[in-house]
Chain A
Amino acid sequence: MNICGYYPESINEGEGLRASVFLSGCKHYCKGCFSAKTWNFDYGELFDGKRQREIIREMAENPLLDGLTLAGGDPFFSAAEASSFIDLARESIPELNVWMYTGYTFEQLAARPESDEYGLLRRGHVLVDGRFEQDLRDVSLLYRGSANQRLIRIPESLERGEVVLWEREKAFM
């Protein structure tokens, strides 16, 4: 598995200050994707155990982080490896909050409980789902690029069997 980007502190991929890791490789090939070069699974640097532990240590040492965001590429094309990374991180940060970006829909990922994709899904708290649709592009949307994409609370959605949208807590509304 390769990563094509790592930001130790980002405010752009989810609520609060988050570490963002971009996993290389995507087969959705959305028209208008502004990082098409990350479709290539060999793009970027090798995300081996050493690099993973480095990033986990940085996260553990940062008192301001609200969590981790996996983006890409699309992490769900490397679902098993991404799950292992989350598990490794939770050995040192048990309460690690995880957001994930994907071109799949929540319904597609939730349909097959035995799959690696489902395994990754259930490790996360919030999913930003759906392909990037150029016609639905809207720069004013929170944490996403086109209007079809959704911010979904994963645990609640899995429990109820229907999509529960993520909403910001009242304080800043």
Chain B
Amino acid sequence: MSMTLPFSPVARNAESDALEEITKLGRDIADSLDTETLRENANLNGDSFSGKMSKFGSEYAKWYARLHILPREVEAAIRGNTVYVHDLDHYAVGTTNCIFIPFDKLLAEGFSTGNGDLRTPRTIMTAMALVAIIFQCQQNAQYGGVSANKIDHDLAPYVGRSFIKHFRKGLSYFESFKEGRESLTDAAAPEGPADEDIYMDNTELRDLYPHAYRYAYQETRQETFQAAESLVHNLNTMSSRGGGQIPFTSINYGTCTSSEGRLVMESLMESTMRGLGQGQTPIFPIQIFKCKKGINQAMGEPNYDLFLKAIECSTKRLYPNFANLDAPINMEYYVPGDPNTEFATMGCRTRVVADRFGRNHLSGKGNLSFNTINLVKLGIENGVALGKRKWADEEGFYEMLDEALNIAMQGLLHRYRIQAKQPAKASDFMMREGVWEGGDALGPDDKVEDLLKHGSLSIGFIGIAESMKAMYGKHHAEDEDVYAKALAAVRHMRAYCDAMSEKHNLNITLFATPAEGLSGKFTKNDAKEYGCIPGVTDREYYTNSFHVPVYFQTPAARKISLEAPFHEVCNAGAISYIELDGNVRSNPEAFRKIVTYALDQNVSYFSINHPIDRCTSCGHEGIIGESCPSCGKKETEVHISRLRRVTGYLTGDYQTRFNGAKQAEVRDRVKHAGQAAPKV
């Protein structure tokens, strides 16, 4: 492999330098000197004691991995700002990234947290409480997010169990008196129907036992609402990973058409709209509504009302996002009637469906790790941006791209070998309870390799926009030819991933990286090296994956149709956003129309960003400028909480929890609908 990438020399630090470096890191954390490091992850309070403790651990682990574990080429590429290894702090110990949890199995069979055994729940109230516990246990076994890919189907049976319980009670209260029975023993033990005949959609049951049915129906509804409300509260209040983080939870739903499953969804969305405490927007779980024609996309389809409720909920709370089951890429392994084959996401965008070893479904596996390529640097080196050449050197670009791909791949494989040789007991709950499919068959000291191979290894990318700008002087939304070149570059990366899947007999996929901590790091280093290049390094961040830059003015429909073709290529996941300004909760029709348009364009995963400001004095929500339009208090007098989304996750208050680059990106976002306008 010839080295043409502009790497800094691989000079491993001398011992004293290393000591100095690690000492500085410690001081920065303990004394809160480096807010960028502390805020790297918007979900972690880096100013707190436990946040700092976890930073100590993670910063040392990264330092150790770079110095002693990483292959030299990979370490050099990190240093050279070409490749980024995500969650480096978990590299040396072999932790894996994220997972879809088989809630159906865990709830049906019961499970053990390690400290206590739990039976299968008899009611929806208990089932939803256990969902929170499962999320929390699993979160500690990995470094990324935890997701339920079909929570409506998973929980419907427990709504059913609650219904049976309430129905039997109703039977003994009301129905036994009907036939003139008077003896107490008769009343206490009415015969009644068999369990399998007691379910909400049984109209015969409803007609035969109207009182008991009505009682059971209402009790079950009430219980499910309460259960959903406490689940949403639990997922925003419990901590994991040494108390420093709230689990990165996502729940997908939309296709279950039984009354029980529909009630689960209705309850979750109602609770989300009601909000936490005094009505705050819940940050977790990320919710994803699975859109499927024939089920919930048009008037007359069984769950269309829930799709509209999802729209309403999203106008108020930014969730749910929308997953497109009808996009060709998501139809490939879809088996009608098997919800486990329905496309769902890890919330942030991660997509794990296909498996070359046959597990072409979602539950019980996840992504193992991913490395991201800085496309902008390759663009700067080979483009017209520096004024060194008149025409872009495309051959040079692709040569460097292949080299970066090879290094990213080398890093993935090296890490995979560390992950694969871990004993089952290292991931604890995940293997012992069979959260990862088949894990429960392993002994504590068995290696996990044979199971991990079903997961995915992904290569991600950032900054197509700035890369094209550096290459050709225009980005992909400014010029049709440049657009074609951008798409070709991404297809090239996908073809590489496909070829590597064959070569290494692993699931290698292409990822539109969610670039939380990364969006500023690459840019800062490139700006230091190349100076301020207009449209390339002049902002504090690079544009996410293949997105049209947030600062570029273009109609919503055009942004969607420009980004849509990239979704098909990024088989490890992608998301498109539209920014709306204004009080969208009062105009859900505009919102629905944009969502439907995005789905029709085969966008795989979609969401709309809009500002939700909240006056902490009177509780008014909407858009708040310098003063609250409801109570009139000024921002200088009361705190106005401003909720925004970053890499797919909401964060409570973007000015205090976002890092600098992300704050800048939020400031620059062009809205696709105008500011509040004068009303005559």
Contact = CB atoms under 8 A, between A and B. Distances in A.
Interface of A: 5, 7-13, 15-17, 20, 22, 26, 28, 30, 33-35, 38, 58, 61-64, 66, 71-74, 101-103, 128, 132, 139, 142-145, 149, 168-169, 171-172
Given A26-B680, A73-B680, A16 B557 contact: no
A132 B679 contact: yes
Given A20-B674, A64-B593, A71-B679, A9 B308 contact: no
Contacts of B589: 15-16, 66, 168-169, 171-172
B358 interface: no
Interface in B573-621: 580-584, 586-591, 593-594, 597, 620
A22 B629 contact: no
Contacts of A169: 589
B555 A22 contact: no
Given A64-B555, A73-B680, 5 more contacts: A9-B672, A16-B590, A17-B673, A61-B555, A149-B679
B676 interface: yes
5 contacts: A9-B673, A33-B678, A62-B555, A66-B590, A72-B680
B582 A12 contact: yes
Nearest to B588: A172
A61 B584 CA distance: 23
B312 interface: yes
Contact of B587 (A15, A22, A72, A73): A15
B92 interface: no
A8 B680 contact: no
Contacts of A10: 582, 673-674, 677
Interface in B24-75: none
A58 B554 CA distance: 11
A77 to B, nearest CB: 10
A28 B678 CA distance: 14
Contact of B590 (A17, A74, A128): A17
Which of B580, B622, B674 has the most CB atoms of chain A within a 10 A radius of its CB? B674
B680 A74 contact: yes
Interface residues of B, number: 33
Contact of B586 (A8, A38, A143, A145): A143
A46 to B, nearest CB: 19
Contacts of A149: 679
A30 B675 CA distance: 21
A101 B680 contact: yes
Given A64-B555, A66-B590, A7 B680 contact: no
B550 to A, nearest CB: 16
Q: Which of B308, B556, B587 has the most CB of A within 10 A?
A: B587
Contact of A38 (B593, B630, B678): B678
A15 B587 CA distance: 6
A9 B674 contact: yes
B308 to A, nearest CB: 6
A139 B676 CA distance: 12
Contacts of B312: 172
A13 B587 CA distance: 10
Contact of A64 (B308, B597, B677): B597
A11 B680 contact: no
Contacts of A16: 587, 589-590, 593
A34 B597 CA distance: 34
Contacts of B584: 11
Interface string B376-414: 000000000000000000000000000000000000000
